Amino acid sequence: MTTSKRLPRSREVADELRRDIESGELPPGSVLPSERELVERFSISSGTASKVVALLKSTGLVESQVGRGVFVKRRTQLIRHAHDRYARRWREAGKAPFRTEVEAQGRTAEVEVTSIERVTPPRWVAERLALPADAQVVRRENTYRADGRVVQLVTTYIPLSIAGDTSLEEAVPSPGGIYAAFEGLGHRLSRMLEEVQARMPRYEETERLGAASGTPVLDVVHISYDQDETPLDVSHFVLRADENVLTYELPTD
């Protein structure tokens, strides 16, 4: 015979508040009861009340606003449609993938190009680009925002043999983004590969994303190929897991 182990009181209270949030009883943007109110409502100690709030923060359900209190987080996840974002019709219309997606969801997109440099890439990048270890690439680093909130960090590596002395070394390589620029250089996109994993962020990623402690990220490595099966770029996306949803439409034959 087995007996269920009782959860700590802080977990029980946090679970009850989580259910209130998920049911809409505590809607997005509403103020979470203060620690004093939690003490009175649930007959718990102030220390337990602090643990309750910490648990809810760790799950990404609430966030602190300095000088105002703790609020139920607004769920404004950006949907990333992998099967459509790189469609040729967007490039031909002069629209880059991120801006197209964000604006289609009624939000405001902002792309900040933080650096463009010629560098020797990490080994894992060189291998995916089929380059010798000492080859040079153009590295582009971007920060992506939706409604002013940082949602993605992207580092793109392009072989110098493709990008050198072209618009791909400029902040805005083409109205349709780097993939339109590739095609303007004669590299017709034929296919793309993405490797996705979830992980905990590095310290500097947490800072740059403005994420709460304990918020995981989605790590996406994107590789595109041209008509000759030449790898054109490796783009490394780091996305806040609480701000992004990845969707994939897959063929069945």
Q: How far apart are the first and last CA of the chain?
A: 50
Structure tokens at 97: 């993938």
125, 135 Cβ separation under 8 angstroms:
no
Give the percent of the chain with pLDDT over 70.
Answer: 98
Q: Tell me what pLDDT residue 51 has.
A: 94
Instruction: Pick 138 or 4 by higher pLDDT.
Output: 138
Q: 137: how many CB neighbours lie within 10 A of its CB?
A: 26
Residues 9-19 pLDDT 10s:
999 999 999 99
Say whether pLDDT at 4 is over 70: no
Query: Average of pLDDT values for 176-204?
Result: 94
Residue keyed to tokens 């060189």: 126
**CA–CA separation, 118 and 137 (whole Å):** 6
Residue 2 pLDDT grade (very low, low, confident, very high; cuts 50, 70, 90) = low
Structure tokens at 14: 């946090």
Residues 202-253 pLDDT 10s:
999 999 998 877 789 999 999 999 999 999 999 999 999 988 999 988 777 7
- Of the candidates 129, 141, 144, 125, which has an alpha carbon nearest to the alpha carbon of residue 244? 144
Q: Tell me what pLDDT residue 75 has.
A: 67
